[in-house]
Amino acid sequence: MPADHPPYVIDQMISAKSIAARIESLAREIGTEFAGTDKLVVVGLLRGSFVFIADLVRELDLPVEVDFLEASSYGDGMESSREVRILKDLRGQIEGRDVLVVEDIVDTGHTLAHVTKFLQSRKPAKLRTIALLDKPARREVDFKADWIGFEIPDEFVVGYGIDYGQRNRNLPFIGKVRFTG
Ligand code: IMP
Ligand code: MG
């Protein structure tokens, strides 16, 4: 555990099995929404969405391309910076294409509000968003993802791609951080 974080344990909140089941059902809905498309670009927000996007695209029965975008957010702490900057842009063009943005968590809403505005300015044919987790109690800007995996209470969570101080991304489940010190 990094020395600058107080001691903590991780309590499981959502099992790997529940996540897998939820993704299957989300993929069916997404398949319906984008039925017939031959130009879907699935855009993962780095780094937290990398596990989710990997599982999600493997459940999608559609021709997909995968691209990544990185926006600044938390740094290594637990507080959102609120001022969102694009750190790494897409490699491909999205004008006239269908785009699905994949995020790990909607918290204050600043990140996805900014990212969707940024991507809309490139005139995609259709832009939709999905987040694995949603913490509606924390919202500061009006933003609603088109699909949400799970609504969760105001807890700091890790696992399944999501970190605390860059650790715990490799846990196969979602757990909440509980400080013990
Ligand atoms: P927002 O801009 O406040 O909606 O923040 C979204 C980003 O904050 C997410 O992409 C996560 O990287 C990060 N984040 C929000 N809540 C948590 C959490 O509970 N654990 C780890 N990262 C989080
Ligand atoms: Mg993030």
**Residue written as tokens 């490139």?**
122
Q: ω before 47 within 30° of 0 (cis)? A: yes
H-helix segments, 86-153: 110-120
Query: Which protein residue has the closest C-alpha to ligand 1 atom 12?
Result: 48
Say how many C-beta atoms besides its own lie within 10 A of residue 112's C-beta: 23
CA 15 from chain center: how many Å?
17
The model carries a pTM of 0.95
Question: Ligand 1 centroid vs 91 CA: distance in angstroms?
Answer: 24
Question: Taking the domains of the chain in order of start, what are their residue ranges?
Answer: 16-154
Q: Is 124 near ligand 1, meaning CB less than 6 Å away?
A: no
CA distance to 23, 30, 62, 84, 166, per residue, from 128 (Å): 16, 9, 15, 19, 28
Length of the chain equals 181
Per-residue pLDDT reduced to its tens digit, 85-94: 999 999 999 9
Q: Which atom of ligand 1 is nearest to the CA of 164?
A: 21
Asked if residue 75 has pLDDT above 60, the reply is no
Ligand 1 pocket test: pick from 46, 70, 78, 80 the residue with the most ligand atoms within 8 Å of its Cβ.
80
Assigned CATH for 16-154: 3.40.50.2020
Element (H, E) at 98: strand 98-106
CA distance to 31, 76, 140, 149, 155, per residue, from 47 (Å): 25, 13, 22, 18, 20
Per-residue pLDDT reduced to its tens digit, 125-161: 999 999 999 999 999 999 999 999 999 999 999 999 9
User: What confidence category does residue 113 fall into, taking pLDDT thresholds of 50, 70 and 90?
Assistant: very high
Ligand 1 pocket test: pick from 69, 107, 143, 162 the residue with the most ligand atoms within 8 Å of its Cβ.
107
- In this prediction, residues 55-75 reach a mean pLDDT of 92
DSSP letter assigned to residue 59: H
User: What confidence category does residue 78 fall into, taking pLDDT thresholds of 50, 70 and 90?
Assistant: confident
Question: Ligand 2 centroid vs 47 CA: distance in angstroms?
Answer: 6
Question: Ligand 2 centroid vs 153 CA: distance in angstroms?
Answer: 18
Query: Which protein residue has the closest C-alpha to ligand 1 atom 23?
Result: 105
Strand, coil or helix: 51? helix
CA 162 from chain center: how many Å?
9
Say how many C-beta atoms besides its own lie within 10 A of residue 67's C-beta: 15
Burial class from Cβ neighbours inside 10 Å (0-12, 13-18, 19+) for residue 21 reads exposed
Cα four-point dihedral sign 165, 171, 177, 181: negative
User: What confidence category does residue 2 fall into, taking pLDDT thresholds of 50, 70 and 90?
Assistant: low
Q: Is 60 near ligand 1, meaning CB less than 6 Å away?
A: no
